[in-house]
Amino acid sequence: MPGFDYVIIGGGSAGCALAARLSEDPAASVCLLEAGGANTEMLVRMPAGVGNLIKAKGKHNWGFWTEAEPHLDNRRLWWPRGRGLGGSSAINGMIYMRGHPQDYDEWRQMGLTGWAWDDVLPYFRRLEGHHRGGDLHGSDGPLTVSAGESDSPFNDAVIQAGKEAGYPVTEDFNGAAQEGFGRYDLTIADGKRWSTAAAYLAMAANRPNLTVIIGARTTGIVLDRGRAVAVDYVTGKTRERVETSGEVLLCAGAVQSPQILQLSGIGDPARLKAAGVRPLHDLPGVGENLQDHLDIIMNWRSQGLASVYSVTKGLKQLGVGLQYLFKGAGPGRQNFLESGAFLCSREGLSRPDVQIHAVLAIMRDHGKVKATEDGFSFHLCQLRPESRGRIGIASADPFADPLIFANYLASEVDRRVMRDCVKIGRDVAAQAALDPYRGDELAPGKDIRTDAEIDAWVRATAETIYHPVGTCKMGLDGDAMAVVGGDLKVRGLEGLRVVDASVMPTLVGSNTNAPTIMIAEKAADLIRGRVAERRERHAA
């Protein structure tokens, strides 16, 4: 295929945004390669479809598994990742969170100039079409950010219960104060999931300088004398190559960006040789520094609440789908996850280290275990784990799943925080505000009480909440494990950048979709030699 100025690998959260921004320049030719499909089905568009998208491997979901996790009873954990245009933004829970300002200031303190909160806030504002408006939010960006539509008393009761438990209440998790209980902002536009494919790619689809190729599985990046010059991919059984006169932009995510680099001979030489790949560029940090939010799910029976179970049981599920399909109305417009909290597990912390997602459903094993009664769940995760894992290839086969070793709970600090999560969840659920709705505790259950029993339950049940980052981390030249610099260029090579969640040196204290889109927005300016005006910090 003839050469392009930019070849983007991966049409996910970052890739769609980057393709749209770079193709704004009519003189620049852009090619976007996506292994999956268009993701236009109703199941993707309908917010209530999230439960089906997350739990099953298939056309929308890569459906990875970790290796045996030694601190989680040697279990292999389910790792869903979005496949198709929009990537994980097409299958996620649609929570819009930017993280805490200190998360980004910490990157600047590592020496990463241009990545402090004041530097990245303009890019968050640029991407947002936010319902709140105001100085901390953008109002005319492509990504619609809306308030939830649920009229269930559950969300107000959760927030009041948090207040009764002694925690603050915040009006805006992305505003002046993150800490406390409140309502989440959602990437839903008029009852439709607003993935980056819907937000960004749709507005750029008719540009003559943008070529989008779906069903294109990348098999490797071609290097010539230290420069990325082409990308090899497969469509069906046909092998293709697309060349670039400018840059290859790797946006395949925290799992597959390191995988593609390693398949291309970029990484730790010993690991590459062991997998049968000829080393071409020594970069030992590729695939290292993996971080993720480990999550526990606490369940209660409910009374007087119409949860997902009663709304969708039996033929009602068909009715929900038909009502949404023909009228765009009804429960299909909701994600059933509109409230939660950011809390400190102990005194003396400068920012929250625990997050709660309150779900109007009994959730078990990513929704793979079907609920048989009404109830609600608290997802609780540790926001800043100390444990680090890695991602790597087992062979030179580009179609084989990568090896994922998250190394959850390797740190005693991480184990203590997860134990505290159970205690926090129970304390909040026990408050008077939830008395009218709360039934029996189903998980962990009344028999799990001592720290040892809680630890054992966590080991047996904890799962990912889908926020892996860090496997191609940003760092300075003196950092031997850094894969990219602050300009996102792969160290020691020309014409190659990584633009996705894998570049985060540390995991932000929130859901990771919005920060990933921000990285793409900033990358577009870095590539074009632009710098957004910094915002004055007058609010956190």
Active-site residues, by number, are 467
- E-state strands within 73-226: 78-79, 95-96, 128-130, 143-145, 180-183, 185-186, 188-189, 192-193, 210-214, 217-224
77 DSSP 8-state letter: P
Residues 504, 119: contact at Cβ < 8 Å? no
Strand ranges in 131-237 using DSSP code E only, listed in sequence order = 143-145, 180-183, 185-186, 188-189, 192-193, 210-214, 217-224, 227-235
Q: Give exposure, 92-106, as e/b (b: 16+ Cβ within 10 Å).
A: bbbbbbbbbbbbbbb
446: how many CB neighbours lie within 10 A of its CB?
Answer: 8
> What's the rounded Cα separation, in Å, for the pair 70 and 407?
7
Residues 6+ apart with CB under 8 A from 519: 14, 488, 499, 500, 501, 503, 504
- Residue 355's φ and ψ, nearest 5 degrees, are -120, 140
Closest by Cα among 10, 45, 5, 28 to 213: 10
Q: How far is CA 475 from CA 9, 49, 122, 450, in A?
A: 22, 38, 22, 42
Helix-then-strand count for the chain, H and E: 15, 26
Q: How far apart are CA 237 and CA 255, in angstroms?
A: 24
Which among 482, 480, 30 has a CA at the least distance from the CA of 246? 30
What is the CB-side half-sphere exposure of residue 317 using CA atoms within 13 A? 10
Token duo for residue 46? 């309908």
Q: Contact 369/350 with Cβ under 8 angstroms? A: no
How many residues belong to the chain?
A: 540
Q: What torsion do the CA atoms of 259, 66, 295, 375 make, to the nearest 10 degrees?
A: 120
Angle (CA) 93-340-414 rounded to 5° is 90
- CA gyration radius, the chain: 22
Q: What residue type is assigned to position 105 of the chain?
A: D
- Which amino acid is residue 469, in one-letter code? V
Report whether the peptide linkage leading into residue 444 is cis, meaning its omega lies within 30 degrees of zero: yes
